[in-house]
Amino acid sequence: MSSIAKQQIGEVYRAVSGIVLRRLPLKEARSPTTDLKDTFRKPNEILYLLVKKPRKHHAYQFPQGGQDSGETASEAALRELREECGSSLKVKLIDESPVGTYQYKFPPKFNRWDQSVGAKVILRCNELLYYISLIYMCV
* Sequence letter at residue 1: M
Highest mean pLDDT (candidates 46-50, 93-97, 110-114, 132-136): 46-50
47's enclosing H/E stretch is strand 47-48
Q: How confident is the model at residue 14 (pLDDT cuts 50, 70, 90)?
A: confident
Round to the nearest angstrom and report the end-to-end CA distance of the chain: 40
Question: For the chain, how long is the longest CA-to-CA vector?
Answer: 64
pTM of the entire predicted model: 0.61
Quick one: pLDDT at residue 1?
41
Domain positions in the chain are: 3-100+118-135
51's enclosing H/E stretch is strand 51-52
Q: Are strands 16-18 and 64-66 parallel, antiparallel or unpaired?
A: antiparallel
- CATH architecture of the domain with residue range 3-100+118-135: Alpha-Beta Complex (3.90)
To the nearest whole number, what is the mean pLDDT of the chain?
75
Per residue in 22-71, pLDDT tens? 888 888 877 777 888 888 888 888 888 888 888 777 678 888 888 888 99
Q: State phi, psi for 110 to the nearest 5 degrees.
A: -95, -10
Nearest to 64, CA basis, from 87, 85, 88, 81: 81
pLDDT at 128 over 70: no
76's enclosing H/E stretch is helix 73-85
